[in-house]
A and B are shown apart, each in its own frame.
Chain A
Amino acid sequence: MRAQSRPTGLYASAAIALGALILVSQLPLFAGARGQLRGTLAPLEAGSTAMEAAGGRVLSVFGDIATLRSDDQRLSAENARLRSQVAELQAAGAENAQLRRDLQFERSFGHRLVAAQVIGRGPDAFTRTLTIDRGAVDGLQPGMSVVTGAGLVGRVREVAAHSAAVQTVADPQLRVNAYLVASGLEGTISGGEGPLHMDVQPRAGAAAAPGEWALTSGIGGGYPRGIPVGQVTRFDRREASTVQYAQLAWANDLSQLDAVLVVVDFQPR
């Protein structure tokens, strides 16, 4: 009986202590300290990301060696070299295309942007977040919008000196007010498992069509107006319902995001 109650007591004490920590850490007074504390692990995340990339290259080399054994050595080596060149060119091309797209976006967007590298991601599916290698010293502040040339990524949630945490549109906890370009319907986009969801306010005679783009509406002052969020893939129209529902394909892919742009001259209200 004693053995049973001792762990229970320990767990209960720890749970109470953690509950207190959660509440204290949410106080605005400690927001800066919390961000700084989290920033201390950013170099580890950056190092881990770099190591992972290096590991991937090493693994691909082992894969090439296995192929070499089964084929003619000289031809395979030549082949591997050419494939490596093609992969490097493709990677450079993709990076170039993304940079061109981002540059074009910055020119046409009309806001001042700061480029940042993605060095970490949210620890689980319940928080779809990113850690980036820019922070307070680069002018970042909580609430700032984060974008790519493709569209909205999310918003800065916490800032340390040299890193920041970004809550993405795919995070189930984030809401983005948006409107549909062709139909003019407005609503709120939220993330989660799979595609984005948009709760659409119905308007008589108006209906969204697949392929239609959803852009930030600027309502609520959280984001600049006109940033692409996603494209409608499905629209459920129910005449009697007070809210209609659309499914969207996000303009960005969380797993493919390596670099982002932070809008530093738009202050959310």
Chain B
Amino acid sequence: MSVFAQAGLLLAAALLQVTRPEAPNAVLALVVARAWVAGGSAGLLWALAGGLWLDLMGIGPLGGHALALLVAAYLAVLLARALEHPAFSALAGAAGGAVYGLVLLLLSDFLGLAQVSPRTGALLLFESAATTAVLVPALVLVMRRVRRRTAAAW
């Protein structure tokens, strides 16, 4: 898959997120799955690209989503090395979802944008972790098949 196609896929996922209010965090799930399947450098590139798309479509600090995705991808890489079985990718999804939300909340707090109450923050983190945990294993399966068919071209 070419670099442009990868950037296009992430742009499409980001657009889906900002135009459908009920859509899950597809960019986060894609980045965590990519980091789990393809490892560090690939996960990093997707985190940066997907994060910057989201940053350009949201109103938080520029680079905030990219940083949150970067941390989630790094965690997925570490977990993939420790727990190689694909079944554990849901764990990477849950951890990635939680840490992604945590970074965004801490960033808001650190930059003085606002303080979110612990109860609200906990609910948001739980929701983020749960949806990503569901999505990541499915995406991992799809990505593994695509990689096999394209002889690991991406």
Count how many chain B residues have C-beta atoms less than 8 Å from C-beta atoms of the other chain. 56
Task: Decide: A123 and B113 in contact? CB cutoff 8 A.
Answer: no
Task: Decide: A15 and B71 in contact? CB cutoff 8 A.
Answer: yes
Q: Does B62 contact A (CB under 8 A)?
A: yes
Q: Does B137 contact A (CB under 8 A)?
A: no
Q: Does A6 contact B (CB under 8 A)?
A: yes
Q: Does B92 contact A (CB under 8 A)?
A: no
Q: Does B134 contact A (CB under 8 A)?
A: no
Q: How far is the CA of A267 from the CA of B62 in the complex (A)?
A: 26
Count contacts between A and B, CB distance < 8 Å.
149
Contact indicator per residue, chain A 6-31, by CB within 8 Å of chain B (1) or not (0): 11101100110011011001100000
Report B-chain residues with C-beta under 8 Å of the C-beta of A122: 18, 58-59
Q: How far is the CA of A23 from the CA of B116 in the complex (A)?
A: 20
Task: Decide: A123 and B18 in contact? CB cutoff 8 A.
Answer: yes
Task: Decide: B62 and A22 in contact? CB cutoff 8 A.
Answer: yes
Q: How far is the CA of A119 from the CA of B111 in the complex (A)?
A: 28
Q: How far is the CA of A121 from the CA of B51 in the complex (A)?
A: 16
Report B-chain residues with C-beta under 8 Å of the C-beta of A102: none
Please give 20 more A-B residue pairs, beta carbons under 8 A apart, in addition to A126-B104, A126-B105.
A4-B81, A7-B44, A11-B44, A11-B74, A15-B70, A18-B67, A18-B70, A25-B62, A26-B111, A40-B56, A41-B56, A44-B15, A120-B18, A123-B54, A124-B65, A127-B59, A127-B60, A172-B116, A197-B120, A254-B21
11 CB-based A-B contacts, threshold 8 Å: A8-B74, A10-B44, A14-B47, A15-B70, A21-B62, A21-B66, A124-B104, A125-B127, A165-B58, A173-B114, A192-B120
Q: Contact residues of A with B, CB < 8 Å?
A: 4, 6-8, 10-11, 14-15, 18-19, 21-22, 25-26, 34, 37-38, 40-41, 44-45, 48-49, 52, 120-127, 129, 131, 157-158, 165, 167, 172-175, 190, 192-194, 197, 254-255
Q: Contact residues of B with A, CB < 8 Å?
A: 11, 14-22, 25, 27-28, 39-41, 44, 47-48, 51, 53-54, 56-67, 70-71, 73-74, 77, 81, 101, 104-105, 107-108, 111, 113-114, 116-117, 120-121, 123-124, 127-128
